Amino acid sequence: VSEPEIDVLVVGGGPAGLAAALELRRVGVARVMVVDREREAGGVPRHTAHTGFGLRDLHRLLSGPRYAARYVALAEAAGASLRTGTSVTAWTGPCAVGLTSAAGVETARARAIVLATGCRERPRAARLVPGARPAGVFTTGTLQQMVYLRRQPIGRRAVVVGAEHVSYSAVQTLAHGGATAVAMVTEHPRHQTFAAFRWVAAARRGVPLLTAACVTRIIGRRRVEAVEVTDLAGGGTREIACDTVVFTGDWIPDHELARRGGLAMDPATRAPRVDEALRTSARGVFAAGNLVHPAEAADVAALGGRHAAHGVLAFLDRGAWPQRAALPVLCEPPLAWASPSAIVDPRAPLPRGRFLLRTSAFRPRATLELRQDDRVLWQRRYRTLVPTRPIRAAVADLSAVDPHGGALRFALAGEPP
Amino acid sequence: MAIAEYVVETLAGAGLALRRRDTFQRARLPDLGEAAVRPYQRADLIAANGDYGRIVCHCERVTRGEILDATRATIPARTLDGVRRRTRALLGRCQGFYCFAEVAELVAGATGEPLPRLLALETP
């Protein structure tokens, strides 16, 4: 068998993939190739026009498009080869994939692969929202591409489904595209973004926020004409006239390639199960970024990519891969997921020294615990846990973990089992 | 098809004189199933036209070439729903999160339909 032509193949040229490639080149890995299926690399920040990017990884404040362009330039300057307009369509071997591009159909073999395929918002169909199927139903990602990348018309009156951070970004995008957000609808009792961002995006514009409510029907023949909103407490319904509906957030990792490769999956994140070094269950295959924590800010995804690069380097140097199955990291309700979703070596560093978690419901004054079997290994009090917002569990010391014990479990103290 | 035969019979019975037309151009729809090899997998097609290697809808792996073909077929697709049904574009798991804007631009360019009409913001 001949040597692979690439050392590391990175699938996905967003912040995580580009940061991984950049770091791999920086530590001296010779042949690093990034493939991205879009015509331009950079990932989601390409069409996220507001500022707030780059603080934690590049130590400067940039808009999304500038941040994306900067990472592309950095990765190229570092000597990573970037192939855009190239889709990975299949696995052709343990560390080999099939590619399709305008240049033809090829295979690429690497010594290691980093999956950095990102995540997407849950679309209307997957939320099982009943009603007609007229034009005018989008996600924030689509809306941003229409407005910022292609200057397409988006309607005049929009209802935004969700009240998390990205939902307010959608309100800003609508305003930029000449549409008014006439209502925001969330199933939760409160919005989930920062008060300041809410004011900048929506409160100042007087966008009404309908809490404990849910869109239960879409009405319209060719274009959306209205939505029916149901009050979850009382069960009453009302119609809101609009020509656009934007479904925001509720992220799903773009895990198709991981699943095709038969990688062990974590049911909570719906991502490939990764350990502290961001190794998946397949030898030589790593996963990083919003694929494994849907969704964090771009700079957190990038730092995850950087962390994965060090795991990749260790693997390339020593060829060592865990023999023992990883201990899964699970969550008890109302906690929704934790990432990384497994631990192999309790002494090895976590990405940024912490687990990232989500809760599915608000919890004031909560005590988060990490348990194994009947032992509490770590705990910390939080003022409030907010759905869709990152919960950071900086478990500094995992040395009490029994590698032969049961799964690690995050739970809230005093929560009924 | 049985329905077509029935229609022909009924029309003839109603007194309409029907003639076979030799110049009739059959409308052929592309094979949308997974049983046959899809254009994105075909080196020969891509070598002849790079657009068959440019995947636009990543979930359903629909190429730029197939979308353009749909708008240029014997009975051309003129709407986004038409392109959806001809090609599967926009109908995958992401429902257009990644590709809606690009598909809309491509179809608008190929059909000459202005975007507000294609997006049903104006009635035709």
* B104 in reach of chain A (CB within 8 A): yes
pLDDT tens digits along A123-160:
999 999 999 999 999 999 999 999 999 999 999 999 99
Q: Do B50 and A102 touch (CB under 8 A)?
A: yes
Assign A206 to helix, strand or coil.
Answer: coil
Q: Point out which residues pair with A159 in neighbouring strands.
A: A183, A245
The pLDDT of residue A324: 82
| Chain B residue closest in CA terms to A39 | B54
* A256 in reach of chain B (CB within 8 A): yes
pLDDT tens digits along A268-297:
999 999 999 999 999 999 999 999 999 999
Q: Do B95 and A126 touch (CB under 8 A)?
A: yes
Contact A79, A26 (CB under 8 A): no
Residue A387's nearest CA partner among A331, A350, A337, A351 is: A337
B100 CB neighbours in chain A (<8 A) are 138, 142, 145-146
Burial B59-85 (b: 16+ CB within 10 A, else e): bbbbbbbbbbbbbeeeeebbbbebbbe
The CA distance from A86 to A101, in Å, is 5
Q: Is the peptide bond before A295 cis (omega within 30 degrees of 0)?
A: yes
* B72 in reach of chain A (CB within 8 A): no
- Answer whether residue B61 shows pLDDT above 90: yes
Phi/psi of residue A297, each to 5°?
A: -60, 155
Contact A64, A298 (CB under 8 A): yes
Complex ipTM above 0.90? Answer: yes
Backbone CA torsion sign across A178, A183, A187, A191: positive
The CA distance from B69 to A272, in Å, is 37
Query: Which residues of chain A from 155 to 184 reach within 8 Å of chain B, CB to CB?
Result: 155
Structure tokens at A342: 């497994």
pLDDT less than 50: residues of chain A: none
The CA distance from A396 to A120, in Å, is 31
Contact B103, B67 (CB under 8 A): yes
Give how far Cα B2 sits from Cα of A367, B6, B7, B27, Å: 70, 6, 9, 18
Neighbours of A375 (CB within 10 A): 11
Q: Do A37 and B105 touch (CB under 8 A)?
A: no
The torsion defined by the Cα of A159, A162, A163 and A165, in degrees rounded to 10, comes to: -110
* Residue with tokens 């990644």, as numbered in its chain: B98
* A347 in reach of chain B (CB within 8 A): no
In angstroms, the separation between the Cα of residue B112 and the nearest Cα of chain A is 15
* B122 in reach of chain A (CB within 8 A): no
The torsion defined by the Cα of A341, A344, A348 and A353, in degrees rounded to 10, comes to: 10
Residue A356's nearest CA partner among A280, A397, A410, A302 is: A410
| Chain B residue closest in CA terms to A140 | B97
Neighbours of A96 (CB within 10 A): 16
Amino acid in the structure at residue B15: G
The pLDDT of residue B28: 75
The pLDDT of residue B27: 76
The pLDDT of residue B20: 84
The CA distance from B85 to A147, in Å, is 26
pLDDT bin (cut points 50, 70, 90) of residue B124 is low
Structure tokens at A278: 């961001």
The percent of chain A in helix, strand and coil, each rounded to the nearest 5, is: 25, 35, 40
pLDDT tens digits along B17-38:
888 888 887 777 778 888 889 9
The CA distance from A269 to A252, in Å, is 8
CA angle (A329, A120, A173) in 5-degree steps: 130
pTM score, whole prediction: 0.94
